[in-house]
A and B are shown apart, each in its own frame.
Chain A
Amino acid sequence: MKTIEKYKYQQKMYAWLFLISGITCTGVGVALELTEIPLGIDPRLITGMGILLLGLSLSAWLRYYNAAKRPQTAQRMVIAESDERMTAIKNKAGQRGFWTSMAIIYGLLMWESVSSNGSLPILTADIRWYWLVAAVVLPMIVYIASIVQGNRGEY
């Protein structure tokens, strides 16, 4: 049960860390909203960040209490996270995601370089934005698909 105690301790630490930073962030955000000091950014962004941190804290508390209440289930969950087969699947998926991301970014870089001397049309801001979105979304899809494929029977 050593692993589960470590997991519980970690979750408790995360919960406190997120709670303190969440309260601070939300407090600062609300204070800035009330004082209406011109900052150049919308203070609701800071409040929003604080709420997100509070949500993360709640999630860590739930994991902590779940581990305390159902130690066997939590133990299996911890084991599943560090399971060597799952780690191998994740590593392979991560590698595929990384190379997908590299290919897309490299493509954009090459296009920008070549288009600057007139050999290719210059990309508009919109196309560049969609290209960057693809650089984030496609590797994520590749990553998830690889994990599903790995779990279905490659391993």
Chain B
Amino acid sequence: MENKLEEFRVRQGLTQQDLADRVEVSRQTIISLEHGRYNPSILLAHRLAREFDVSIEDLFLFNEEEKK
């Protein structure tokens, strides 16, 4: 799943570790998320969206074709 995590993070001037600390995950998880290798749980997606004050849909771009 594509996401704009890196874009939002950089815009807020946060490092990957800062963001990881804020949403209580490891830095590796943030790296994997930014590279699109890992799809977060709904809880983590919600926490990330809340952190950037956006909706989950703004942050994660679900592509129906990708699922197929």
- Closest CB of chain B to A74's CB: distance in Å? 13
Q: Are B37 and A83 in contact (CB under 8 A)?
A: no
Which of B20, B29, B37, B44 has the most A CB atoms < 10 Å from its CB? B29
Which of A84, A85, A86, A155 has the most B CB atoms < 10 Å from its CB? A85
| Bound form: Cα–Cα A86–B20 in Å | 14
| Bound form: Cα–Cα A155–B32 in Å | 6
> Which residue of chain B has its CB nearest to the CB of A79?
B24
Q: Are A76 and B37 in contact (CB under 8 A)?
A: no
Q: Interface majority SS on A: helix, strand, loop or mixed?
A: helix
Interface set, chain A 66-83, CB cutoff 8 A to B = 75-76, 79-80, 83
Whether A83 touches B26, Cβ cut-off 8 Å, given contacts A76-B21, A155-B38, is yes
| Bound form: Cα–Cα A155–B41 in Å | 13
- Closest CB of chain A to B15's CB: distance in Å? 13
The count of residues in chain A whose C-beta lies closer than 8 Å to any C-beta of chain B is 13
Q: Are A153 and B37 in contact (CB under 8 A)?
A: yes
Picked from A79, A153, A154, the residue with its CB within 8 Å of the CB of B26 is A79
B25 at the interface (CB under 8 A from A): yes
Q: Are A84 and B44 in contact (CB under 8 A)?
A: yes
Q: Are A151 and B24 in contact (CB under 8 A)?
A: no
User: For A151, what are the chain B residues with a Cβ–Cβ distance below 8 Å?
Assistant: 28
User: For B43, what are the chain A residues with a Cβ–Cβ distance below 8 Å?
Assistant: 84
Give B3-36 as 1s and 0s: 1 = Cβ < 8 Å from A's Cβ atoms.
Answer: 0000000000000000011001110110010000
> Which B residues are closer than 8 A to A by beta carbons?
20-21, 24-26, 28-29, 32, 37-38, 40-41, 43-44
Interchain residue pairs with CB less than 8 A apart (27): A3-B24, A75-B21, A76-B20, A76-B21, A79-B21, A79-B26, A80-B26, A83-B25, A83-B26, A83-B28, A83-B29, A84-B25, A84-B29, A84-B40, A84-B41, A84-B43, A85-B25, A85-B26, A85-B29, A85-B32, A85-B38, A86-B26, A86-B28, A86-B29, A154-B37, A155-B32, A155-B37
Per CB-CB distance, the 7 closest pairs between chain A and chain B, nearest first, are A85-B29, A83-B26, A80-B26, A155-B38, A83-B25, A79-B24, A85-B38
